[in-house]
Amino acid sequence: MKLEKELKFTIHHNSQCLFRILSPEDVSQSYINALKSSRGPIKNVPEDIDIKWQQGYIKKILQSPCDTICGLFIGSELIGTSGIQNLSAGGSDNRAIELAQGHTCGCTLGILVLDEALRGRGYGKTLVWAACYLANNCCGVGTFAASMGKTNLPSLKSFLACGFQVREESPGGVNVELKIGELVKPEFVERIIVA
């Protein structure tokens, strides 16, 4: 199962947004810098990451029938990414998804807002909502999960604001889960088109 559509919408009354599958050509130095600075929470980022490595990683994800990575664009600027794993019941071919406690075979999400100066403006919530909304519309996914470290409060707040509930906690992390009927659209998202 793949996401064969994209979302177009407006946020904050005038910013035109596009949420679509990333291509290797979307990888920029600012994307690499964000991955390097987020190396702690993102466990699969190597020390020597560069544009070529990340382009290869995205190609690998896009070859998987169960995983994808999408980007949130305002105009032509990539604002953030949503990794979506296990889109089908067969599970992820790309890698095992390890949550704070145990493993999951359900659809899992991970988000990254690239520019630290843009964090705290609702883009995290937008990434979570858009990933769930599009995966449900394209693939009928009805349950989503995510995990984050307990110190990653901005990410946790983004998921909780979209209707996720805490499922499990460990000393270092939190698992959250969402049933699609509980998905909450951020109040600033308007004029949604699935194309």
Report pLDDT for 1.
54
The residue with tokens 């999400």 is 109
Report pLDDT for 175.
93
Give the whole-angstrom CA distance, residue 126 versus residue 109: 13
Give the whole-angstrom CA distance, residue 35 versus residue 190: 29
Instruction: Say which residues have a Cβ less than 8 Å from residue 185's Cβ, sequence separation at least 6.
Output: 129, 133, 162
Structural class in CATH, domain 7-194: alpha beta
What are the tens digits of pLDDT across the range 97-125? 444 434 444 688 999 999 888 888 899 99
Residue 193 — pLDDT band, cuts 50, 70, 90?
very high
Return the percent helix, strand and coil in the chain, to nearest 5.
30, 30, 40
What are the tens digits of pLDDT across the range 123-179? 999 999 999 999 999 888 999 999 988 888 999 999 999 999 999 998 888 999 999
What are the tens digits of pLDDT across the range 17-72? 999 999 999 999 999 988 888 765 555 666 788 999 999 999 999 998 889 999 99
Residue 3 — pLDDT band, cuts 50, 70, 90?
confident
148 within 8 A of 109, measured Cβ to Cβ: no
Single pTM value for the model: 0.88
Report pLDDT for 45.
64
Report pLDDT for 42.
55
List, as own/partner pairs, every contact residues 45-54 make where C-beta atoms lie below 8 angstroms and the sequence separation is at least 24, other chains included.
Answer: 51/27, 54/27
